[in-house]
């Protein structure tokens, strides 16, 4: 394997800046691998390196970036994994992507995803499922499955994705990489094709915690085009912590007990990590998040409701697919949308439309918003006693392709441990905690709003202690690239 | 829980056309999911205010200063039915 | 026969005169080439987000304050969901359960609420020509889409078509004066729907109401509402029920037809717009809005005309509800005061005369009649230096050529003949002589018979004599003769 590929993004950036690596060579090394991708992780790969000088002195030093399909990128297909946007090339670039490009990260390609970010397995992409580089018969998780698989397989040094109910953290966990969902408002949503506006956040998917910090540092910031974006109160620092002394970890019974259906292998890895944390000086105690078991229900009302409105713009009038344009307006709308959207998207539009419809609003959407208030309160209370709340990221390791496609509810339960945080708007990170039957397991830490620096430090200390080896997935990607 | 008529009504609101098979399936799946979700209705939430925004800011306003618009060609490029007059063609709402 | 009382409420959409749209930086336009004022936000492109225009909020608050509303401490934007080609996002961002302004009053009509929203785009009809399949086509121009709108909803306090028209005119003047809109009905910057119902006079129960759309002029509003009232009374008298529906008034045919009912009952699925944060009316924002308001609004001006100048309520409103007339009136009043004083009521009587001569849509300030000239004319009439008939003639000349009314009167010999003038006495005698029967009746106390005698004198003097003076002289001379 090309030794460039073995470097973390931060290490590659450092060597580019030291002029030990030619950024054009770095880009081409990844471009070739991405172009030969047989995990179906990419929906578009840059045909060549971007024209002009490589910003070798820029903070991100020409380290190429894989971007989830739903980020609008000017002139480049941005299809959000949907048939209804096939071939759509936006006239503008999402703020987060533009920020990263300005910081010196050239666009390597667009990554596959569940359609409109609705899914936990990447099987809901109109462009085919993504394969997990650890086991090609298994899913990579979702919805940022393409980004996660690409980073895990060494097809990209790093990637960005979006998280609405776990869409960064869960695929990161299933692919054995790091995934961070920032505080709501930390990163601009402008140019992100919306799923659920009050929950969606962009974040990094990287090989390690340092890379996540480096990428995040150039993603955050107030954007005047996004009314809900906020100035990050401090600079994102490179994490240096090597221990957890004085750190209090809370383990919520509600998310780690029997209710969540955590697999034995996942539980084992989780408990081993708690022990490691104690070894690093942390205290570990049970805590309560009484409303957390209801988070999934609230999430599956709020997110589809917002999505039902967000997806109304796909009507065949201004862009994207149009079907049956001769048979009258109403028919044009329903034919276009019925052919353009996949089954899961239709299911959620239906669910969301129903939850908002006359006579049901209070019972469903209104109640879900109140549950949201209680969940945020639960976290606030917990953070009075604890620095971080920790859980397994996903109750399961990567499951077989097709295993849950017939049971939407079973699929939704995948998000059991990841949905409470976006409902409260707080940040959470998933780091690999080891393998279970040869498949990666994720460990999740959640902190109060804008605690990213502390969260990254804690994750960094744990990561060092765990010493997870992600190279088998990269070798798998290597053989794929050759084959 | 959700009967056929309700599913049809919701599908019409959402401008989705479902086949007979999809209709049956949708009714069953949505009912199944709602059955799980409905548990939140048992919570006592009488005095709890709803949360529609997690960010605690108000009055994010923009100065009334013009910014460049898109060129018309750019706006119309992805249009399924651009018309010579310079607009986005659609079936007439007045026609059936 | 039953008497019916119409109950009318208005819903008015006003385009605000900001530079840019409600949620994006595209410039507002009217009549520009299609689709040249669009961007990802107002085209509803994937990933685009709205940001609120600060000036639109200030204008909204100014309207609320001008209408005496309570400005909400905290208000929210909602999404109103429905599909239509002129609505690019599939929802309109509007205000719902917490509007910017509530309550209030303008003139004798209470305001229910005032809220902010975005305008739809413009849908044009293309017809079937040029299409292979021959189906009817339309096309959308998004230039107008996203223009800031304020929706003003009144309470059902209006009880006649005339009152509807007059009140809308007051609203228009008010909005124009505070400078927040062009309020031009023909161009669509002021649009009015009317909710109309009728009930037996004296009944407290409201009848079934219909919503009348598409009245794009003051005249059509009055006519449309009148036609709808007649239609509803007709139905009730025929023993039929009024159906709650949305109706279209065709100003050409005068007909009222139901608007095609949409596919399903309206279910807009309102929910708080997650892309926007709440709006809080700070003291600074309210102060800025208050400061931007003119010192006196039309309704206040009408009250002042009535209270301080003794004008009738109707005349006061006629003037104050048209700022150009009121301004002209006040300038003439000032000129008259400088010239030794003019009677405000007398002066105000001459404004409608002037309007009638220059055309009702023209500003008298742009006519040939200087305000001081009108004041001088009114003063001369009041002092009986010129008769009313002669003064009308003078006004016509002023409208045609301008000039000084005193000079015109002198030059044309239009000055009033006084009672002391022997000529007038002689004329009265001749009138009595010419119609002894009428004179006899007057003498017998039948004052109605005096008409022909007065007419005789008026004719002979070509209107220069004052009617009251002639009457007095006739009665004196008839009595003397008897
Ligand atoms: Mg409206
Ligand atoms: Zn725009």
CATH label of the domain that carries residue A87: 3.90.1300.10
Residues B25 and A419: their CA atoms lie apart, in Å, by 26
The helix/strand count (H/E) of chain A reads as 17, 11
What is the per-residue pLDDT across C262-320, written as a single tens digit (0 to 9) for each?
Answer: 544 579 999 999 999 999 999 999 999 999 999 899 989 999 999 999 999 989 988 99
Residues C415 and C463: their CA atoms lie apart, in Å, by 10
How deeply is A275 buried, as exposed, middle or buried, from its count of CB atoms within 10 A (0-12, 13-18, 19+)?
exposed
Nearest-Cα residue of chain C relative to residue A354: C269
Torsion of CA A450, A307, A252, A291, to 10 degrees: 110
Domain count, chain A: 1
Instruction: Give Cα C335 to chain centroid, integer Å.
Output: 27
How deeply is B73 buried, as exposed, middle or buried, from its count of CB atoms within 10 A (0-12, 13-18, 19+)?
exposed
- Nearest Cα of chain C lies from the Cα of B36 at a distance, in angstroms, of 23
Nearest-Cα residue of chain B relative to residue C43: B75
What is the per-residue pLDDT across A309-324, written as a single tens digit (0 to 9) for each?
Answer: 999 999 999 999 999 8
What is the structure's pLDDT at C264? 47
Asked if residues C326 and C320 have their Cβ atoms less than 8 Å apart, the reply is: yes
What is the structure's pLDDT at A254? 93
Q: Which residues surround ligand 1, an ion (CB under 5 A)?
A: C 151
A36: in domain: yes
Nearest to C88 among A305, A313, A327 (CB): A313
Give the mean pLDDT of chain C: 91
Q: How far is CA A302 from CA A163, A168, C29, in A?
A: 15, 19, 37
Nearest to B69 among C39, C136, C263 (CB): C39
What is the structure's pLDDT at A1? 53
What is the per-residue pLDDT across C75-119, written as a single tens digit (0 to 9) for each?
Answer: 999 999 999 999 999 999 999 999 999 999 998 999 999 999 999
Pairing of the two strands C271-272 and C70-71: unpaired
Q: Taking the CA of residue A201 as centre, how many other CA atoms within 13 Å lie in the half-sphere pointing to its CB?
A: 36
Region class of B86: left (phi > 0), else alpha (psi between -120 and 50), else beta: left
A76: in domain: yes
The helix/strand count (H/E) of chain B reads as 3, 3
Looking at the predicted structure, is the pLDDT value of residue B19 above 60?
yes
A203: in domain: yes
- B11 chain-C contacts, CB cut-off 8 A: none
Looking at the predicted structure, is the pLDDT value of residue C421 above 80?
no
Whether residue C362 is preceded by a cis peptide bond, meaning omega within 30 degrees of 0, is no
Nearest to C89 among A313, A326, A357 (CB): A313
- Nearest Cα of chain A lies from the Cα of B37 at a distance, in angstroms, of 5
Instruction: Give Cα C116 to chain centroid, integer Å.
Output: 23
- Say if A306 is an interface residue toward chain C (CB within 8 Å): yes
State yes or no: is A167 an active-site residue: yes
Indicate yes or no: CB of B43 within 8 angstroms of CB of A367: yes
What is the structure's pLDDT at C281? 97
Q: Which domain holds residue B22?
A: 4-41
B33: in domain: yes
- The encoded tokens of residue B2 equal 């959700």
B70: in domain: no
Nearest-Cα residue of chain B relative to residue C22: B64
Nearest to A319 among B15, B37, B79 (CB): B79
Q: Which domain holds residue A190?
A: 3-246+428-434+445-482
Helix (H, G, I), strand (E, B) or coil at C227: helix
Q: What is the pTM of this model?
A: 0.89
Q: How far is CA A400 from CA A43, A165, A175, A375, C45, in A?
A: 22, 21, 13, 32, 36
What is the structure's pLDDT at C449? 82
Which one is catalytic: A121, A144, A167, A451? Answer: A167
What is the structure's pLDDT at C1? 64
Looking at the predicted structure, is the pLDDT value of residue C231 above 60?
yes
- Nearest Cα of chain C lies from the Cα of B25 at a distance, in angstroms, of 23
A61: in domain: yes
- Say if B11 is an interface residue toward chain C (CB within 8 Å): no
What is the structure's pLDDT at A477? 59
Asked if residues C323 and C173 have their Cβ atoms less than 8 Å apart, the reply is: yes
- B76 chain-C contacts, CB cut-off 8 A: 35
CATH of the structural domain C422-481, one choice from 1.10.10, 3.40.50, 1.20.5, 1.20.58: 1.10.10
- The encoded tokens of residue C245 equal 């529906």
Indicate yes or no: CB of B79 within 8 angstroms of CB of A325: no
Indicate yes or no: CB of A184 within 8 angstroms of CB of B92: no
- Nearest Cα of chain C lies from the Cα of B16 at a distance, in angstroms, of 12
What is the structure's pLDDT at C263? 45
Q: Scan for tokens 């010129």, then name that residue.
A: C386
What is the structure's pLDDT at C103? 97
> pLDDT below 50 — which residues of chain A?
481-483
Q: For CA atoms A258, A260, A266, A269, give the dihedral sign.
A: negative
Residues C355 and C348: their CA atoms lie apart, in Å, by 11
Indicate yes or no: CB of B58 within 8 angstroms of CB of C279: yes
- The A residues from 368 to 427 touching C (CB cutoff 8 Å) are none
- The size of chain C, in residues, is 482
State yes or no: is A283 an active-site residue: no
Measure C91 CA to ligand 2 centroid, in angstroms.
Answer: 16
Indicate yes or no: CB of C275 within 8 angstroms of CB of A365: no
What is the structure's pLDDT at A463? 98
- A365 chain-C contacts, CB cut-off 8 A: 271
DSSP H helices, A244-342, are 253-256, 264-279, 295-310, 329-340
Residues A467 and B4: their CA atoms lie apart, in Å, by 54
Identify which of A63, A9, A66 has the alpha carbon closest to the alpha carbon of residue A35: A66
Residue C130: pLDDT band by 50, 70, 90 thresholds?
low
What is the structure's pLDDT at C451? 86
Residues 6+ apart with CB under 8 A from A446: A379, A388, A389, A390, A391, A420, A421, A426, A427, A428, A429, A455
Measure C118 CA to ligand 1 centroid, in angstroms.
Answer: 8
| Ligand minimally distant from the alpha carbon of residue A225 | 2
Asked if residues A146 and A166 have their Cβ atoms less than 8 Å apart, the reply is: no
Domain count, chain B: 1
Ranges A330-339, C417-426, C472-481: which has the least confidence: C417-426
- B80 chain-C contacts, CB cut-off 8 A: none
Helix (H, G, I), strand (E, B) or coil at A128: coil
Question: What is the domain-level CATH number for residue B31?
Answer: 1.10.20
State yes or no: is A144 an active-site residue: no
- Nearest Cα of chain A lies from the Cα of C203 at a distance, in angstroms, of 33
Looking at the predicted structure, is the pLDDT value of residue C127 above 80?
no
Which tops the pLDDT comparison, C299 or C190? C190
What is the structure's pLDDT at A205? 98
**Global ipTM:** 0.97
Which one is catalytic: A82, A120, A121, A143? Answer: A143
* Neighbouring chains to C with at least 3 Cβ pairs closer than 8 Å: A, B
Measure C213 CA to ligand 1 centroid, in angstroms.
Answer: 12
Helix (H, G, I), strand (E, B) or coil at A348: helix
């Amino acid at each position: 394997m090309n030794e460039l590929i073995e470097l973390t993004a931060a290490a590659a950036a450092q060597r580019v800046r030291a002029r030990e690596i030619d950024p054009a060579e770095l880009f081409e090394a990844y471009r070739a691998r991405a172009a030969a991708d047989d995990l179906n992780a990419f929906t578009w790969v840059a045909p060549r390196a971007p024209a002009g000088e490589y910003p070798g002195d820029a903070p991100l030093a020409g380290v190429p970036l894989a971007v989830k399909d739903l980020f609008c990128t000017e002139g480049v297909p941005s299809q959000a994994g949907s048939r209804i946007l096939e071939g759509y090339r936006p006239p503008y670039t999402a703020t987060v992507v533009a920020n990263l490009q300005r910081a010196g990260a050239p666009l390597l390609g667009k990554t596959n995803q569940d359609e409109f970010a609705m899914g936990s397995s990447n099987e809901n992409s109109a462009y085919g499922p993504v394969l997990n580089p650890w086991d090609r018969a298994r899913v990579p998780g979702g919805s940022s499955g393409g980004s996660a698989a690409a980073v895990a397989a060494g097809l990209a040094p790093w990637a960005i994705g979006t998280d609405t109910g776990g869409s960064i953290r869960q695929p990161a966990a299933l692919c054995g990489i790091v995934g961070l969902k920032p505080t709501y408002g930390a990163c601009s949503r402008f140019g992100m094709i919306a799923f659920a506006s009050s929950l969606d956040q962009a974040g990094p998917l990287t090989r390690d915690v340092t890379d996540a910090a480096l990428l995040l540092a150039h993603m955050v910031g107030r954007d005047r085009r996004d009314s809900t974006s906020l100035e990050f109160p401090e600079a994102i620092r490179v994490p240096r912590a090597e221990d957890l002394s004085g750190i209090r970890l809370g383990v919520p019974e509600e998310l780690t007990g029997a209710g969540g259906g955590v697999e034995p292998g996942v539980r084992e890895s989780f408990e081993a990590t708690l022990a490691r944390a104690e070894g690093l000086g942390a205290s570990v105690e049970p805590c309560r998040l009484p409303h957390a078991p209801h988070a999934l229900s609230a999430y599956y009302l709020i997110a589809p409701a917002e999505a039902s409105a967000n997806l109304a713009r796909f009507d065949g009038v201004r862009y994207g697919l149009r079907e049956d344009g001769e048979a009258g307006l109403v028919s044009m709308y329903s034919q276009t949308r019925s052919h353009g959207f996949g089954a899961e998207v239709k299911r959620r539009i239906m669910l969301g439309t129903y939850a908002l419809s006359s006579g049901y609003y209070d019972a469903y959407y209104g109640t879900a918003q109140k549950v949201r208030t209680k969940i945020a309160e639960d976290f606030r209370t917990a953070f009075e006693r604890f620095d971080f709340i920790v859980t397994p990221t996903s109750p399961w390791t990567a499951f077989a392709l097709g295993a849950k496609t017939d049971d939407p509810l079973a699929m939704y339960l995948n998000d059991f441990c990841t949905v409470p945080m976006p409902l409260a708007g707080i940040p959470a990170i998933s780091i690999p905690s080891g393998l279970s039957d040869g498949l990666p397991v994720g460990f999740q830490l959640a902190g109060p709003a804008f605690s990213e620096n502390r969260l990254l430090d804690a994750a960094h200390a744990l990561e060092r202690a765990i010493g997870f080896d992600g190279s088998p997935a990269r070798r798998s990607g290597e053989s794929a690239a050759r084959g | 829980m959700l009967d056929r008529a309700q599913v049809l009504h919701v599908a019409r609101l959402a401008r989705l056309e479902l086949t007979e098979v999809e209709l049956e399936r949708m009714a069953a799946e949505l009912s199944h999911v709602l059955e799980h979700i409905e548990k939140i209705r048992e919570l006592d939430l009488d005095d709890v205010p709803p949360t529609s925004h997690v960010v605690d800011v108000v009055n994010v306003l923009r100065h009334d200063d013009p910014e460049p618009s898109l060129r018309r060609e750019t706006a119309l490029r992805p249009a399924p039915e651009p018309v010579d007059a310079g607009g986005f063609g659609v079936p007439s709402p007045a026609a059936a | 026969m039953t008497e019916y009382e119409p109950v009318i409420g208005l819903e008015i959409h006003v385009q605000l005169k900001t530079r840019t749209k409600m949620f994006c930086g595209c410039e507002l336009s009217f009549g520009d080439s299609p689709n040249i004022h669009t961007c990802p936000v107002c085209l509803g492109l994937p990933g685009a987000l709205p940001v609120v225009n600060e000036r639109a909020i200030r204008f909204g608050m100014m309207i609320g304050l001008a209408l005496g509303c309570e400005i909400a401490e905290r208000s929210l934007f909602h999404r109103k969901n429905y599909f239509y080609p002129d609505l690019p996002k599939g929802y309109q961002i509007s205000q719902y359960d917490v509007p910017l302004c509530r309550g209030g009053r303008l003139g004798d009509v209470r305001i229910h609420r005032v809220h902010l929203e975005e305008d739809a785009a413009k849908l044009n009809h293309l017809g079937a020509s040029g299409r292979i399949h021959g189906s009817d086509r339309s096309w959308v121009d998004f230039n107008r889409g996203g223009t800031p709108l304020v929706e003003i909803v009144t309470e059902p306090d209006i009880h006649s078509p005339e009152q509807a028209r007059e009140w809308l005119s007051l609203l228009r003047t008010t909005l124009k004066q505070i400078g927040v809109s062009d309020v031009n009905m023909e161009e669509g910057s002021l649009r009015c729907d009317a909710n109309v119902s009728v009930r037996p006079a004296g009944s407290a129960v409201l009848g079934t109401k219909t919503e009348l759309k598409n009245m794009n002029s003051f005249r059509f509003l009055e006519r449309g509402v009148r036609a709808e009232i007649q239609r509803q009374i007709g139905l009730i008298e025929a023993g039929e029920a009024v159906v709650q529906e949305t109706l279209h008034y065709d100003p050409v045919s005068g007909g009222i037809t139901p608007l095609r009912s949409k596919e399903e009952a309206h279910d807009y699925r309102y929910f708080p717009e997650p892309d926007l944060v709440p709006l809080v009316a700070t003291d600074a924002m309210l102060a800025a809005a208050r400061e931007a308001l003119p010192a006196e609004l039309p309704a206040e001006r009408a009250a002042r005309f009535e209270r301080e100048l003794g004008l009738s309520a109707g005349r006061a409103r006629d003037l104050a509800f048209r700022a150009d007339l009121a301004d002209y009136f006040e300038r003439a009043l000032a000129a008259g005061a400088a010239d030794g004083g003019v009677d405000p009521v007398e002066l105000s009587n001459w404004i409608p005369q002037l309007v009638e001569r220059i055309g009702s849509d023209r500003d008298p300030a742009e006519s040939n009649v200087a305000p001081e000239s009108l004041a001088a004319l009114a003063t001369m009439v009041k002092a009986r230096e010129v008769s009313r008939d002669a003064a009308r003639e003078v006004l016509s000349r002023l409208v045609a050529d301008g000039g000084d009314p005193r000079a015109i009167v002198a030059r044309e010999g239009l000055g009033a003949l006084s009672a002391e003038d022997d000529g007038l006495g002689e004329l009265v005698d001749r009138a009595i002589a010419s119609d002894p029967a009428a004179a006899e009746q007057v003498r017998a106390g039948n004052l109605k018979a005096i008409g022909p005698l007065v007419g005789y004198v008026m004719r002979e003097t070509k209107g220069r004599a004052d009617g009251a003076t002639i009457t007095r002289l006739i009665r004196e001379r008839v009595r003397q003769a008897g």
